[in-house]
Amino acid sequence: MHFLLRSDYEAVRHQGVLVRSPEGDFQVQPRCALLPEEIGPVDLVLIGLKTTANEAFTKLLPPLVGSGTTVLTLQNGLGNEDDLSRLFTVEQIMGGLCFVCLNRVAPGVIQHIGYGQVILGEFQRQPQPRTHDLAARLCAAGVPCIVTDNLARAHWEKLVWNIPFNGLGVASVAGFDAVEQLVPSGVSAEAVLPCLTTDKLLADGRWARLVRELMLEVIAAARVLGFDVPDALADQNVERTRAMGAYRASTLIDFERGQRLELRSLFLEPLRQATQAGVAMPRLAALCAVLKDLDQEARRDR
């Protein structure tokens, strides 16, 4: 196994990857590379990049991919498999979703908080023997994994959680009125309000209402697009999130670190697909506007 690394290269090369977990800490020492040419063609490429780096696909991936290579993206949101399809055949592309609470707390150091299931699927086709084989390999390694017969539906199901908790966690710095009423003057990357963790979003009745309204918008859009996503998924997500405690969603951490937000995949692309299908998503549209303003303001500061 090879790790193609960017900012964490030196740390991982010297000390490996340390995972701290309530289920037990462990450390691995992978082979590291800075350039894909150092690795060459492989059987499986597993993509864990932030979606803001997808423009690097054309540079990073071709040296790793041969005619028999499977390319699996475990990235957030929508459109990542489509990005890969511009470079490789549909038959080479797989997608997956990670249901796990964890944070990168230092170079080469991961704090696992809870959960850890992976869902695998094929891009634009039914599961194949390789899909089940890879799921079995992950399970054998101690990573719970199941196969979905509809990868697109699974992406929309995960957006039911990702859109409200990632989005509102960041947008909360602009204040409740800015998010609910889309008040541009309330949006500033230098706002004194803190980003809200999942427990605080659910503890405040106003934010909790927005969480649920966003969830129901996503579910309604998914149904119009042909995916049978039940309303009950909203309640299930809320209850699971309460059990997480004060979890800091990944987009919140990106914002606090001054990094680009995963706007396109997590927010703008779902809104685009829903709008194209004739579904009104006023809460998501307002959230997108606030997040775009915050991201642009942060870029100007940087």
- pLDDT digit string (tens) for 183-215? 544 454 445 578 999 999 999 999 999 999 999
CA angle 302, 4, 54 (to 5 degrees): 50
Asked if residues 163 and 214 have their Cβ atoms less than 8 Å apart, the reply is yes
Of 118-127, 172-181, 208-217, 260-269, the one with minimum mean pLDDT is: 172-181
| For the chain, domain boundaries | 2-149, 154-301
Query: How confident is the model over 128-138, as pLDDT tens digits?
Result: 999 999 999 99
Asked if residues 60 and 4 have their Cβ atoms less than 8 Å apart, the reply is yes
- The pLDDT of residue 182 is 63
- The pLDDT of residue 192 is 53
What integer is the mean pLDDT of 26-50? 96
| Identity of the amino acid at 262 | E
- The pLDDT of residue 301 is 65
- The residue ranking higher by pLDDT, 179 or 251, is 251
The CATH code that applies to domain 154-301 is: 1.10.1040.10
Across the chain, what does the average pLDDT equal? Answer: 93
Asked if residues 266 and 161 have their Cβ atoms less than 8 Å apart, the reply is no
| Identity of the amino acid at 33 | A
Asked if residues 273 and 221 have their Cβ atoms less than 8 Å apart, the reply is yes
Catalytic residues: 158
Query: How confident is the model over 148-176, as pLDDT tens digits?
Result: 999 999 999 999 999 999 999 999 998 88
CATH for the 2-149 domain, from 3.30.499.10, 3.40.50.720, 3.40.190.10, 1.10.10.10: 3.40.50.720
Query: How confident is the model over 45-61, as pLDDT tens digits?
Result: 999 999 999 999 999 99
